[in-house]
Amino acid sequence: MSPLQPKFEKISQNVISQQVYYLVAMDDSGKRLLEHYKNIYEVSYDFRNENLTRLVASYVKKDGVVLDIGCGSGFLLDELSRRGVNAIGVEPNRDLIELSKKRNTSLAILEGRAEDIGAILKEKVRTAIMIDVLEHIEDDASFFKTLAPHIEDGGEVIIVVPAYQFLYGLRDRKYGHYRRYSKRMLRRRLRGSGFSVLFIRNWNILGVLPYIVSEKILGKELETSLRKKTNSALGGILQRILRAWFRWIENPINFGFGLSIVCIAKKQEFINRAAGNSDE
């Protein structure tokens, strides 16, 4: 029996190999990530995910198939579906997939690792998206070279990663991050795999100072309770203020620094041919 849901088969039968279905055991960081997603399950309470999802979705073109790699509990797939985008997801954590299905049973998600994308895809996709995924991949340079042949020439990758390696600390280790990024480092990784950077910016200026104080001065993980459902009147007011800030100020304005880096890169046809020749 095919592991794919009916809608999944309908929209992606020419893209996804139906012979592949991964069962991936969770390590400790995976279990912590699952608990994190459960805590912020209602995206309406999580001003960070809500507005980052909106921002990324606004960059996505509707033509072709869009692949959300490491789609988590399906926040972005939900948003893309509402915008009429033909999107599918790949996620290694079965429990996160089940969590996403509780909210939207029509989401098209295959269980698999980002590193195994070559075995999952039969044909090329127009756009690949990775939100807070690349830092979980040990050999990110090799991953980009694996991914590149599965993106259409002229297609795009949209990437969100944590910024500033000097901030690497407790939270990164807890969730299985290998590194944080600078813009230069991310550009270098992309160019080395046949992508040209179209756009790159920082995001989440408000988080920088609290992160420095918490991780580097106090030596403890940054508190994220404001991203969860709260019965506190003050907490509710702060959530509304932060939601408005991210939507109307943070998303439209690039302040030049912030806790995350958002990048759009385009695959170049001539570099793809050169990469193919290098394998001979």
Task: State the DSSP code for 221.
Answer: P
Res. 177: pLDDT tops 70: yes
Asked if residue 208 is part of any domain, the answer here is: yes
Q: pTM to 2 decimals?
A: 0.83
Q: How many domains does the chain have?
A: 1
Tell me the average pLDDT of the chain: 83
Name beta bridge partners: 200: 263
Q: What is the pLDDT of residues 90-111, one digit of tens each?
A: 999 898 898 888 878 889 999 9
Question: Strand, helix or coil at 262?
Answer: strand
CA distances from 13 to 16, 66, 115, 121 (A): 6, 14, 21, 10
Structural domain of 87: 6-269
Q: Please answer whether residues 106 and 37 qualify as being in contact, where contact means their C-beta atoms are separated by less than 8 angstroms.
A: no
> Does residue 116 form part of some domain?
yes
84 inside domain: yes
Q: Sheet of 195-203: strands edge to edge?
A: 109-111, 87-91, 66-69, 125-131, 151-162, 260-267, 195-203
Position 278 in a domain: no
Q: How confident is the model at residue 179 (pLDDT cuts 50, 70, 90)?
A: very high
Quick check: is 54 in a domain?
Answer: yes
**How much is the pLDDT for 120?**
87
Q: What is the CATH number of the domain that holds 78?
A: 3.40.50.150
In a domain, 277, yes or no: no
Let me know if residue 187 belongs to a domain.
Answer: yes
In a domain, 275, yes or no: no
* Confidence class for position 280, pLDDT limits 50, 70, 90: very low
Rounded to 10 degrees, the C-alpha dihedral 154/155/157/158 comes to 100
- pLDDT digits 0-9 by tens, 121-144: 888 999 999 999 999 999 999 999
Instruction: Give the integer Cα–Cα distance in Å for 123 and 11.
Output: 13
- pLDDT tens digits for range 228-275: 666 678 878 888 999 999 999 999 999 999 999 999 999 987 544 444
